Amino acid sequence: MMNNSIQYTVGIDVGGTFTDFYCAADGVAITTKTPTTHYDLSVGFMQGIRQLAEVHKLPFDAFLGQIVSLRYSTTVGTNVLIERNGPKLGLFTTAGFEDTIFIGRARSWADGLSLQQCRDQARIQKPEPLIEPEMVVGVRERLDYSGKVITPLQREEVLEKLQELVDKGAQGFVVSLLWSFINPQHEKMIRDIIEDEYPEDYLGSMPVILSSAISPKAGEYTRTMTAVVNSYIHGVMSDEINALANELRDHGYTRPLTLVHNTGGTKKASRTRAVLTHNAGPVAGLHGAATLGRLNDEHNIIFTDMGGTSFDIGLIEKGEIKTHEFIPVIDRWRTNIPAIEVKSIGAGGGSIAWINTLMDNAMEVGPQSAGAMPGPACYDQGGQDPTVTDADLLLGLYNPENYLGGEMLLDVDLAHDVISEKIAGPLGIDPLEAAWRIRRLVDARMGHEVYNEVSLKGHDPRNFILLACGGAGGAHACGYAPYIGTQRILVPGQSSVFGAFGASTMQIKEVWERSRAIRMYNWAEQKYLQDLAVFNSVVTSMKKSAIRDLKLEGYDENEIGFNLELEMRYGSQYKLTSVEAPALFLKNSEDVGTLCDSFTQRYSEIYSPEATFPSGGINVETFHLTASIIKPALSLQAADPAGPEPDSAALLCLRPVYWDPQQGFTDTPIYDYSLLRPGNRIRGPAIVEAAQTTYVVAHGWRFTLDNWGSAVIETATGPGDH
């Protein structure tokens, strides 16, 4: 029966293979997937919406009319960078610095690569530039470190260089001048000249992006690349998103399409900067983790997502997602966007195991991956290398006839043969032991990476719970958790569409950043800052920008919440340490002292008291103001709890599983997830099979289904064990 009073919230997350959909209404959710249509993402998008409408038994247009929120995590921008199909851009920069983006701080050949990938110095390469050298022009102008004009800009020269770029076929312009983040006067003059020459009503009108507008932060290479990447993906993204928005409108959707940002919020597509959509999917997943954490009263969470080719790691501290990337790299380009950090390493079900004959026949797993094509050998798609999925299958952890809900049949013999030939044979061990070693090694590697990521941020990973999602997260979490030291794992019921779930939980939020070096504690004079006006004027100006922007988004000033983080350092250190400001404005030197103390306290927690050096001078370098609109959080309906004993029908069978070489195969109970009830408990070893994922509950762990369909897997001696 049709119910046209129901209001739906939909989250959409585009992945490499599938586009995921999460649709919630009145606390009840359904999910679906469609193959990602890389040639035109909107095709898969609309198909997914149709599938949701069918499940709800609503006509397509009627269903769209009842959707109150569409939050979309898109990879349009990423695809533009991969396919290199962005526009031909022209870059205006300060004369004498035309090669800045090609020099790329020298090490741009290594940006976006792991340390291991950088070891072979004989074969290094810089990526193909997004702007060709002939499309870069220098204009005579110069500011010094304080923003003072040393060389004034010449209008005639700008006109001449503009004509040169237009003649060469420029389809858009980036303007990035030295020290423009302190004084954008020259950048604005160039924009005005271009717009005077090619006003909007001319066919030749082209977009002009200023580095000082897109990223008013110190560091000309990263600021320029932020503007370049944004400009490069802007046009294609704008076209695709507008076309999608129009199609949605044509079919009855009346609200704005909102896009998920890598800064941890969402905004209307029409008010989104393209560069902020890159890699938003994992950030959405991180938000989903925070939401589930709140339901489970867990506020310190390590988020992990194990897919076919990559393993993502993120962090939630005290319920907050606030760790920004130290050096955000988009594709192969360093930028300075305030992106939430989600680290990705090359480990997943498709990671290839191999023998390093030079190193005493040491076994290695990855970083090469069989990917989705040809995929693991057991997919029977031509894969010739043993992968983690092959190992899992051979060990009996996966049901070859019920993988991905039976959508893909797996061939155990192929897995056996490839592991025998390429691993067990050279090592002189049994293929099952080889499979066990593959699994153990990849688990250790992922666990170590997680440990490192968390500890680099100054936390003890053992004080966090582990949230494991992605296609292989549930199958491996008990394997990598011990290397992190965590005793409690949460595997969401929405695991396989977790990015889409996360997107549907995100709030309107935007981040404003500005670099301004202010000595809070002056080393030379050994005293605190007295003149607070500069500090407060920066905050005032950022706050004004935020209010203006969110008002245009349709929100009232009193709905906006503000949070100020300051990036600070001792002396001339490289790394800035983030400190949450106690208040937006400084009132007196006591406030300055409190802020400096907060910095030293935070520094001490991360790097040890021995490393602090307050008398060496303390600077604020970057202001980071977050403005959010707090709306009621997505509600999930809790199911009624049942007893700890699963229904007997849920136990499908006993299947031999090879847990370790000492015990060999052990008959292991296999459960059907769909027949379990909240509160049901299962002691490991056991396996729970769901349509899109497999939960592997190892020896010493206990599985409990919570009221929201997530698996809580704890050590038998861990918290909550009775």
Residue 50: which of 99, 12, 76 has the closest Cα? 12
> 470-499: which residues touch another protein (CB under 8 A)?
483
Q: Tokens at residue 157, please?
A: 């020269």
Q: Distances in Å between the alpha carbon of 197 and those of 94, 137, 155, 193, 204? A: 21, 17, 12, 6, 9
Q: Amino acid letter at 714? A: E
Other C-beta atoms closer than 10 Å to the C-beta of 661 total 12
Q: Is 573 in the site for another protein (CB under 8 A)?
A: yes
Residue number, 201 or 610, with CB nearest to another protein: 610
Considering the complex, what minimum distance in angstroms separates the CB of residue 436 from another protein?
8
Q: Distances in Å between the alpha carbon of 41 and those of 14, 18, 34, 230, 240? A: 8, 11, 11, 19, 8
The only residue of 37, 47, 452, 594 in contact with another protein, by rule CB under 8 A = 452
Please state whether 77 falls in left (phi above 0), alpha (psi between -120 and 50) or beta.
alpha
| Phi, psi angles (nearest 5°) of residue 226 | -60, -45
Considering the complex, what minimum distance in angstroms separates the CB of residue 465 from another protein?
19
Q: Is 360 in the site for another protein (CB under 8 A)?
A: yes
Considering the complex, what minimum distance in angstroms separates the CB of residue 639 from another protein?
39
Q: Give DSSP secondary structure letters for 297-311.
A: T--SEEEEEE-SS-E
Q: Is 115 in the site for another protein (CB under 8 A)?
A: yes
Secondary structure (3-state) at 350:
coil
Compute the distance between CA of residue 176 and CA of residue 187 in angstroms, rounded to an integer: 7
The only residue of 55, 59, 98, 555 in contact with another protein, by rule CB under 8 A = 98
Considering the complex, what minimum distance in angstroms separates the CB of residue 509 from another protein?
27
Residue number, 152 or 319, with CB nearest to another protein: 152
Handedness of CA 138, 144, 150, 154 (dihedral sign): positive
Compute the distance between CA of residue 73 and CA of residue 288 in angstroms, rounded to an integer: 13
- Binding-site size for another protein (CB under 8 A) equals 84
Question: Interface with another protein by CB under 8 A: which range of 42-50, 208-216, 292-300, 516-524?
Answer: 516-524
> 614-673: which residues touch another protein (CB under 8 A)?
616-617
Residue number, 220 or 510, with CB nearest to another protein: 220
Find out whether 473 and 495 touch, Cβ atoms under 8 Å.
yes
Compute the distance between CA of residue 717 and CA of residue 706 in angstroms, rounded to an integer: 19
Q: Is 570 in the site for another protein (CB under 8 A)?
A: yes
The DSSP element (H or E) to which 330 belongs, if any, is strand 329-330
Question: Interface with another protein by CB under 8 A: which range of 277-285, 359-367, 624-632, 637-645?
Answer: 359-367
Find out whether 516 and 623 touch, Cβ atoms under 8 Å.
yes
Q: Is 363 in the site for another protein (CB under 8 A)?
A: yes
Binding mask 697-716 for another protein (x = CB under 8 A): --------------------
Residue number, 364 or 647, with CB nearest to another protein: 364
> 210-269: which residues touch another protein (CB under 8 A)?
218-222
Considering the complex, what minimum distance in angstroms separates the CB of residue 579 from another protein?
15
* Distant-in-sequence, close-in-space partners of 461: CB < 8 Å, separation ≥ 6: 302, 450, 451, 454, 455, 484, 485, 486
Residues of 138-158 as b/e, b for ≥16 C-beta within 10 angstroms? bbebbbeeeeeeeeebeeeeb
> 387-446: which residues touch another protein (CB under 8 A)?
427, 437, 440-441, 444-445
**Percentages helix, strand, coil for the chain, rounded to the nearest 5?**
35, 25, 35
Residue number, 106 or 649, with CB nearest to another protein: 106
Question: Interface with another protein by CB under 8 A: which range of 16-24, 116-124, 231-239, 384-392?
Answer: 116-124
> 165-194: which residues touch another protein (CB under 8 A)?
178-179
> 117-156: which residues touch another protein (CB under 8 A)?
118-126, 133-134, 138, 140-142, 144-145, 150-154
The only residue of 607, 633, 637, 674 in contact with another protein, by rule CB under 8 A = 607
Residue number, 260 or 481, with CB nearest to another protein: 481
Considering the complex, what minimum distance in angstroms separates the CB of residue 287 from another protein?
26
Residue number, 135 or 657, with CB nearest to another protein: 135
Q: Is 364 in the site for another protein (CB under 8 A)?
A: yes
